[in-house]
Structure 1
Amino acid sequence: MATDKKVYQFIAHEPSMFSGKIRPYLQYKNIPYETVIPSVEVRQEILIPRVGWSVIPVIITPGDKVVQDTTAIIEYLEKEHPHPAVVPPTPRQNLVSLLLELFADEWLMIPAMHYRWNKLEHKKYIDVQSGRIIKEHASPLEQMENLDDFKNYRFFKNSIRYMGVNKDTTGEIERSYQEFLEDFQQHLNRYPYLLGYQPCVADFAFCGPLYAHLYRDPVPGYLMKCQAPLVASYMERMNSALLSPTHDVVNGKAVKKSVSPDKQGFLPGDEIPETLQPILQRMFTEQVPVLLDTVKYVTQYMKDKPDVDVLPRVIGWHNFKLGSVTSRRSIYTYPIWMLQRISDYYRSLSSGQQRMIDRFLDRYPRGQELLQADLSGCRVDRMDVRVRRAESAKAKL
């Protein structure tokens, strides 16, 4: 481990979805860091004792503070390194960034996990990525053998069924994802980032599933590069690749190109690009019904089990619909915390700003219903990868 306390330690792994969210953020902010691969030793002697859970990514600050969870990491680092800001300062753009972060973290995870674990054509590539850590001291070819013997490998491989990935839904998952790629490519044809000419938090959230799984893994990576090359290029740009000319030549010397003021920052006037509407429409059509159903089930669970403090990550099963298919998936408790952040932000706005948001959401199915959802019976606080009953909720018992 490094001893230079001026540098953040970033415990992460290249194939890890949520590591893929934080790495480009650190690079964009020019925050000095070193990557620490989560070896068995690191997991046993650092992550479990200091985080309480063998989970990545984690940052260890120059002051030796441990911060876990990508949302918490970005919130912490934005306070420590405020420039350039990635949180839009205007209400509508900030709300859309929060919504799309939730979409990326919890919904784009579905195609990401499906393509990783259901495509046998690239199984050896996936296995060698895992084997480098699980079987650190074996030879490279041995590292990819018999990984089903290891609990951590089986956990990720088998987790897809809880997300609703099964023989009935895989066709719709692939259809929806490929439509998303086309929608996103159309947006990137007009703007380099989600909200204009500067990345917001949601841009980094998109990098999680889109880079770590759907760009790097061979089968979906080939699909992305062939079907949506602008999305593939976006992944490369977000990870610091320089793809377009950056300099002019003046008097025989390379001089960095100037950028006109109208091609900088978030779009003016709190504008949401029209090219984002199909992506938001997909979120409200596919994911929002699941979120609202989750609110109902978690509220009932917390009412029925008042003595439960730390909620299980999964509390049962419910129906969900994707395209023409209805299937079953687990009821996850963690998205309640992310939805709560969005609801709290909305309620912090002035009445005039709320009316403006309401008008904007009127175009989406159940748009206002999402922000008006009653979360009073399922208030939670985040802890590692789980949530617990909020202190305010305990006081009402």
Structure 2
Amino acid sequence: MTHVLYGLPHSLYSGKARSYLRKNGIPFVERSPADARFRNDIVPKIGRVIIPVLETADGKVIQDTADIIDHFESAGVRHSASPPGPRQRAVAHLVDLYAVVTLVRHAMHYRWSYLGSQRRFLTHAFAGDTQVMARMQSYLPMLGVTEATITEIERSLADLLRSLDRHFAQHPYLLGGQASQGDYGLLGPMFAHLGRDPVPLAIMQNTAPNVFRWTERMNAPGPDMAEFGDYPAGFAADDAVPDTLLPLLDLIAQEMVGELIDKAAALADHVAAHDPAEGAPVADRPHHRTIAAVATRFRGVPFEAGLQPYQFLVWQWLADEGATDDAVRALFAEHGLLPLLDTPRAARVERRGNIEVWGRIG
């Protein structure tokens, strides 16, 4: 029963799916999207060229890492990504959301703003396809990577690495001795881009060796935490969130809350202007990731970002998990994160047929 994962070593979300399959001992082989079967059989089924895609042993095609993980979680796996307690689940979803909203910006900046310093490596990774490389580089402004924001992006990475390095010096994973949804989400940008491309890799190895070691651990098939001795396997007992992780919550509040509040307002404007029908695709074409532009700020610096419905899908998982739980609300209140649970969103976003569609409106 071997599955096929279509992905690439330098693909952000491929790394997330690959790690989950390895950690759970799920047999798979990985194929490049250049494979003829991907072009001829898989792309027509999903309607766009995108990775990762999983073709299960019985022929089911699943696109998007979250859907891949959900597929196996619902069937039961050796090491679930979902902690048993509501506080830990909420924190796992929070870190996953931060990776999608904020850290993609860091990942793309350090890959493409430093192209001249790592051109040979990236040219090899992209098989010399300069057109694809140029297209990827063109996404930087939409993601908020501008001359005005670059200084704060780099300060942010330094703050993040400092915080995570202190945590991973004491704990093998975010929430104890087992990888959570937050670990898999964080691994996306922290490995394929920031922990593999030469420029950010050197920064990580030289300033945050415990974070680099965590990226190795996340890519290993087993727990891979020998240096922690008899550290207990599994998530931390009693739904505990380690004290060493709390500075990360403060950083997330500083960097992401305001941006998402602005994007929620922009979504409301878009829904009011277009009156979308429930079940309709959120974008005019399956490969389009954004539906509008949003004026917002990152660490106090103004920029214009793309309004990406997928971010609202990931935000919903967090809000659905923690909005009514007293323990989650208390934790989030302590760290300035309550707006993530309480900010109204004009419409839900769902995944159907491997694309994002409008869910309940209003």
Which residue does 1:342 correspond to in 2? 318
The match for 2:349 is 380
Match of 1:158 in 2: 138
The equivalent position to 1:369 in structure 2, one of 329, 335, 339, is 339
Alignment match, 1:282: 251
Structure 1 counterpart SS, 2:54: strand
Whether 1:357 and 2:353 are equivalent positions in the alignment is no
Secondary structure of 1:38's aligned partner: coil
Residue 273 of structure 1 corresponds to 242
Q: Does 1:101 align with 2:96?
A: yes
Matches within 5 A, 1:158-307: 158-240=138-220, 260=230, 263-307=232-276
In structure 1, distance between residues paired with 2:147 and 2:350: 35
Greater relative contact order: 1 or 2 (C-alpha under 8 angstroms, separation 6 or more)? 2
In structure 2, what residue type is equivalent to 1:239?
Answer: N
Structure 2 residue 122 is the aligned partner of structure 1 residue 126: yes
Q: Which residue in 2 is equivalent to 1:137? A: none
Counterpart of 1:140 in structure 2 is none
Distance 1:379 1:110 in 2: 24
What's 2:7 paired with? 12
1:53 to 48, 52, 76: 48
Farther off after superposition, 49-58 or 307-316: 307-316
Q: Could you list the per-position Cα deviations for residues 110-160 of structure 1 after superposition, in whole angstroms to 9, with x for gaps in the alignment? A: 1111010011110121111112xxxxxxxxxxxx3xx44x3x333212111
Distance 1:126 1:115 in 2: 12
Structure 2 vs 1, CA of residues 325 and 268 (structure 1 numbering), >3 Å: closer, same or farther?
same
SS at match of 2:356: strand
Q: 1:76 to 1:244 in 2, by over 3 A?
A: closer
Instruction: Report percent identity of matched pairs.
Output: 28
* TM-score (normalised: structure 1): 0.84
- 1:362 Cα offset (Å): 1.1
Deviation track 1:302-356 (CA, whole Å, cap 9, x = no partner) reads: 1211246322332332233233422222222211111112222235x5xxxx222
User: Which digits, 9 at most, give the CA deviation of each residue in 1:173-219, with x for residues without a partner?
Assistant: 01110110010000011111000111111111111111101111111
Shift of 1:31: 0.4
- Deviation at residue 61 of structure 1 after TM alignment: 0.8
Does the C-alpha gap of structure 1 residues 49 and 186 become closer, same or farther in structure 2, counting only changes over 3 Å? same
Match of 1:318 among 281, 294, 298: 294
> C-alpha distance in 2, partners of 1:85/1:244?
17
SS in structure 1 of the partner of residue 307 of structure 2:
strand
Moved more, 87-96 or 102-111: 102-111
Residue identity in the other structure for 1:299? A
Question: CA offset at residue 40 of structure 1?
Answer: 6.1
Amino acid at match of 2:53: V
Alignment map for 1:18-57 (pairs within 5 Å): 18-39=13-34, 41-57=36-52
Q: Which structure 2 residues correspond to residues 327-338 of structure 1 after superposition, within 5 A? A: 327-338=303-314
Which string of whole-angstrom CA distances, capped at 9 and with x for unpartnered residues, describes residues 82-118 of structure 1? 2222210111100110111111123111111101001
Q: Give me the whole-angstrom Cα distance separating, in 2, the residues matched to 1:174 and 1:50.
A: 39
Equivalent-residue separation in structure 2 for 1:325 and 1:106 (angstroms): 16
Tell me how far apart the structure 1 counterparts of residues 259 and 238 of structure 2 sit (CA, whole Å): 32
Q: Note if contact 1:380-1:389 (Cα within 8 Å) is conserved in structure 2.
A: yes
CA distance in 2, matches of 1:185, 1:359: 26
**CA contact under 8 A between 1:294 and 1:333: conserved in structure 2?**
no
Shift of 1:223: 0.9
Structure-2 separation of matches of 1:57 and 1:115: 22
* 2:53/2:62 contact within 8 Å kept: yes
Kept in 2, the 8 Å contact 1:29–1:81? The answer is no
Using the alignment, how far apart are the partners of 1:216 and 1:80 within structure 2? Answer: 32
> Conserved in 2, the CA contact under 8 Å of 1:47 and 1:55?
no
Structure-2 residue corresponding to 1:82: 77
| CA-to-aligned-CA distance 1:279-317 (integer Å, 9 cap, x gap) | 111111111211121111112211211246322332332
Distance 1:358 1:324 in 2: 26
Q: Residue type of the partner of 1:310?
A: P
Q: Cα distance, 1:17 vs. partner? A: 0.3
**1:373–1:153 Cα change, 3 Å:** same
Q: Secondary structure at the match of 1:167?
A: coil
Residue type of the partner of 2:304? R
Change over 3 Å in CA distance of 1:199–1:337 after alignment to 2: same
Q: Which runs of 5+ in 2 are unaligned?
A: 284-288
